[in-house]
Amino acid sequence: MSNKEIKLAKYAGFCYGVKRAVETAKKIKIENPDKNVYVFGELIHNTDVIHELEELGIKTLYEIPDRVQNSICIVRSHGASPDVISKLKLAGFEIHDLTCLDVKKVQQKAMELVKDGYYLVIVGKAEHPEVIAIKAHAEQFGEKILVSNDTSELKKYEEELKQNKKIGIVVQTTQRLETLNKVIEYLTSISKELKIYNTICLSTTYRQNEAKELAKENDLVLVVGSKKSANTTHLAEILCKISKTIHIENADELSNYKEIIDTAEKIAVTAGASTPDNIIDDVINYIKGGQ
């Protein structure tokens, strides 16, 4: 395997928002050794990173306790609803908000649209924590809100949408541009006024565009990152239409694809925004024969 040509994407691994969240969470614990430090929900979608944080004493919280003392709770990079933040404060937590700044911009745009009387369409996955938080922020100012990343699903609400003179769009930061464009095309055909905020973050755009070019130039693309990570799964979905693509969480899974890897001469490696460098390095070392 050592003679293979291996190309690592420039935009692979931690984006600014994830790097900021992980580094700041560690700093908070170091600066507060005598306090309990929690994150409400997984800080980022990467099991290895979550385990590392747990070893440092930063625990993941899934339910809000009635009362705590001497405790810090971190709002994760995906954000949280105003109700959750309020309940955490009432429980006695000191709050540190590490919501990605790009996600905060989406929350702000969503609130502005609803305040201005637009029927809000959030292009994204309804069950994703980022989208849940965006929707919750917007719901403070109105109820006309839909979440969808599928035009066939939106068509179920066509009559309701047509009754509104103004429709506004925001997008989950890690969504595919192709998905947004399909929603825009459909809504343009039924709306009188359409206001669009393309809130896909630049990191996602750069990562996807670069990976597409790499897929065209290589026999095989390895996408490294959590199966729960939206931006990673979208990356794999895009690339599999261009080249042979394998989505793995870490190097441990590569033995399952030994034959495919052995037969590929040119391999590109990219990774999701929540994948740390050491996991990417392990994958490259495996391909090089250094496992």
Is the Cβ–Cβ distance between 207 and 231 less than 8 Å?
Answer: yes
d(CA 148, CA 113): 17
Domains and CATH numbers, the chain: 5-13+202-288 (3.40.1010.20), 16-99 (3.40.50.11270), 102-196 (3.40.1010.20)
Tell me the C-alpha distance between 291 and 289, whole Å. Answer: 6
Is 185 one of the annotated active-site residues of the chain?
Answer: no
The interaxial angle of helices 230-239 and 202-217, nearest 10 deg, is 30
Q: Which of 42, 130, 139, 249 is catalytic?
A: 130
Q: Do 60 and 288 form a contact (C-beta atoms < 8 A)? A: no
3-state SS class at 222: strand
Per-residue pLDDT 10s for the chain (291 aa) are 457 899 999 999 999 999 999 999 999 999 999 999 999 999 999 999 999 999 999 999 999 999 999 999 999 999 999 999 999 999 999 999 999 999 999 999 999 999 999 999 999 999 999 999 999 999 999 999 999 999 999 999 999 999 998 999 999 999 999 999 999 999 999 999 999 999 999 999 999 999 999 999 999 999 999 999 999 999 999 999 999 999 999 999 999 999 999 999 999 999 999 999 999 999 999 998 844
Rounded-to-integer distance, Cα 27 and Cα 7, Å? 33
Q: Which pTM was predicted?
A: 0.90
